[in-house]
Each structure stands twice: as structure tokens, then as C-alpha cells.
Structure 1
Amino acid sequence: MTFSKERPFLLVGAGKMGGAMLSGWMAEGLDPSAIVVSDPGPPEEVRDLLATHGIRLVDQPPTDIRPALVMIAVKPQLMDVVLPGLASVVAADTLVLSVAAGTPVATFEAAFGKVPIVRAMPNTPAMVKRGITAAYATGAASSEQRDLVTTLLSSVGQVVWLTAEEQIDFVTGVSGSGPAYIFWLAECLAKAGEDVGLPTDLAEQLAFATVTGAGELMHQSGTHPSTLRKNVTSPNGTTAAALAVLMADDGMEPLLRDAVRAAVRRAGELAG
């Protein structure tokens, strides 16, 4: 990752996700003197990280730099405030990388012109370096710039590239919003444990450890989940009895399909 004081990496918005990425970049050896962070109120842990590495922190994007890359990681509702302040900073060859949900490429082109733009959708497991990010690049982005984005985002998990911007909304429904579905599954499993007679704290301990453990098994084994499911399902056993309910015509699959479609539909509405 080649940045310099003359052509730095400007990070606009340094919340928990930004902090996780910064931590990953430091571990990958990115030069802290070539990073500028613009955020009027980052979390305390991010402030500590910046101070530890001597990374420059400013309230507003500085006008005395010509960044090689500007990464925009602010909430979508702040775009109308943030983008005008960046217009004088983004040069014709500056790569604009957005990890903000619901903001289409057209919004950035309206603010900066036809500069290289990559729109990315990470998810919250990036905070523990187990995320997956889907990215879409405009035609103005070079293969070297795409490679740079892959390197940056790989510090917090996997990276996949999309062929059309509309696929970002589909990704949102599966992996962007997906962690919340898994958290809700853990909550429901714990409540089901309570319903059959377990104490609340024990039901939660069992359910939460089961969900995280199953995910880790799938991750480490590299085995398809259908195979893992079959491995734990004995014919006519307890798991088979439970799966008969979950895999019924009105069970989990159609419900989850409807949930993903609802998220995709809402993502399209937010993007305008």
C-alpha cells in the first residue's frame, strides 16, 4: 500500500468500523504518517489508536493535502454535509472509496466529477477481522486501484467484486444485514431453551456458544454447511425432529427469503 505525506490516505469518518480497519492497516504495515483521519468525534478507542500510532486527526477534511485515496465512512444522512467539504480535496486522480450504505455512485460523481470511485459494502464482523466486503468499481478506476482496495479491505476479512452497482442492494440483504439475522437466531434459540425449562442465563450461554461455535466450525473446516448439517443429523434422531420443523414448506427458508427481499427492497428505497 503506497501512500505518502504528499499523497496521503484520507479517512473521513472513524467510528467502530473505521477503527477496526485502521487497526488492520497498522498490522499490515501501512505508514501512519501517510494517513489523515477526519472526524470531529471518534470513539475513545479510536482516539487511543490514532495517538498510539501518531496518525493525524482533524475535525474537518484539510485543504492542504491532495490525497491518493479518500475513504468515506460516514452515515448516509451526513453526505450532504460531508461531500461539499471534500470537493476541493478530491483531485482527478484521487480514488474515492465509499463504505457508506445507501449512497449510489451517482451521488459521488455529482460531487466530484468522473473520478475513480469504488462503492463497497462491508459488514460488522469486520470489527473482529471476519468480515466480508463486496465492492463495485466504476470504469474510471484502474486495475491497480482495484488491487489497492482489495489489499485495504482484506485486512478485515474477505473481499468480492461485483459486476453491477445494483448488486450492492442484493449484497446488503445477505451479508450487510445478515449478521443481525444470526444475532436474532441466537436470541430465539436462547428463548426456546427457556421455553423448555432452562434458566435464562444457562439457555443464553448454551445458545450463544452454539451459534459462535458452529460458525467457527464452518469457517475452519471449509466444509459446506449442508454437509456439516448432515454430519450432525442422525436418522430419526433429535436433530432430525427439529429440522423437520425448520425445513418444512413454511419453515425457515421461505421466511429468510422474505426477510432478504425486504432488506433488498429497502436498500433500493434508501438509495433513491
Structure 2
Amino acid sequence: MKLLRYGAPGEERPGLAAPDGTLRSLAGHVGDIDKAMFDDPARLSSLRALDPATLPVVDGTVRLAEPLARIGKIVGIGLNYHDHARECGAAIPSEPILFLKATTSLCGPNDAIRLPEGSQKTDWEVELGVVIGRTARDVTAEAALDHVFGYCVAHDVSERAHQLEHGGQWTKGKSHDTFCPVGPYLVTADEVPDPQALHMYCEVDGLMRQSSSTAQMIFGVAEVVSYVSRFMTLAPGDLIITGTPAGVGLGLKPPTYLTRGARVRLGIAGLGDQHQSVV
């Protein structure tokens, strides 16, 4: 299933993308796409049994929201692609690098990115998002994917000066409002047979900046989920963003960053595309 949420901010409703490309309403079948839905196996089974063609069609011009409501936490993985580590001149990490990103940074996949006041170094980062479906605590890598509900496109927008030049940890540069567009879909894990074989890309103002594959991950999804679960309990509805490949603005020579008026397009094979303007 390709689950989604649509509507104005604060008025989002659950839906799905049908095989014919139309958006369909799930009103009356589920209250929202959230932890409560994950905790109800019967509800999930009933959703899977639905014929999308029987559901009401949603106007295709409607705003798409982040496809998961009330995310508990966002856990980021830094420097997790071989090609990205090389472009940054960084050593390959011996263990995953973890950081937290504020949930207030979440927004819809096509919402505008708002530059912070005085920002000079806001950067783009296309990432594979992993949504937890079952509580994970000290799980093995072999069992980790059994705890994944699905996958989505995430844009880990990063203000590099705030991230790297203001002391402390990376969270400062990662957590501004609109710095985590997610979606358009939450694609259930059964439709992603190999999360390590997905092409991903990011264009800025029509220039291809990132074009790579999740095969470039240093620590794959199963290893990441297992590792994070050693340090914190992962609850249903938590989101892990798993790192970005080469081609970020920080790695260009000279470094190049987002400016007001820029347009960004990014996506991952099978998971959909995002389109954002910078304001």
C-alpha cells in the first residue's frame, strides 16, 4: 500500500494512492495514519483487503501532508554513504553516527522550505526514511526488518553553519521548521523487497546534484534499526532517516547552498517524488 495524508495543515485526512495513480480517501476506514493504526492488526488487515477502486477519489490538486501523523521521534544517521563520506573528506564511521531532529521540522513533501533568518548555508539531502511498525528494543540485525512498517522519501534539510559552527551537536542545524519534508507516500514494507537497491536523486534549479543508490549505505537499514534500538526504544510511528549520498551543497567546490526562489525536486524509486520552493 501507498498510504498518504492530504488536506490543509491541521485538517489532514488519511488516504492512499491507487494503482491507477488516483488519490483515494480512507475516511470511515481509519481515523488517521499513526501509531494507533499500527497497534491494531485487524485494522491493517481490513485496509489491505480494500479494493482501491471502490474508495472515493480525492481531488488531485489537494495538498499532500507528511504521510504519518504524530511521529514520536526522528532519528538521523550521519555520514552513512560511502560516496558522501568521500566528498566530505571524512573517515568511514566505525559505528553509525546518531542525531535527533525535532518533530516540529516535519512538513508535507511539497510544502515550501523556509530559510531561517540570516541563513547562508542551507543544504539539501535526499534520504530514505524508515518508519517503525513494532516496538524495537535491542533487536538483532536479522530481526530488525520485521519491525519496519514501511519506507518514505525524506528531505533532511540542513543549515550547515548552525550544524557545524555553533558548538554542540548537529541538531541545531537540522531542526528548523520545514526542514523535514516527508512523503508523498508511506509505502508498506511488502512493496519494498530490498531497501538497499533503491535509486535516489535530488535536483536543484534543474541541475542534478545527487544521483545514487541506497546500495551506497555504509550501514544498511537492518543494521541501523538494530543499532539504534540498543540505545533507545523505537516505538511504532518513529522515523529513522538513514543518511544522504554524495552531491550535497557542502561537498561542491565551491560549496553551494539554497537561496530564496530556488526549486528542489527529489525522490526515491518506488517511493515517490517531492517538489519544493525555497522562501
Scaled by the length of structure 2, the TM-score of the pair is: 0.24
- When you count strand as a share of all residues, which structure comes out higher? 2
Q: Which has the higher helix share?
A: 1
Higher Cα Rg, which structure:
1
Give the TM-score of the pair, scaled to structure 1.
0.24
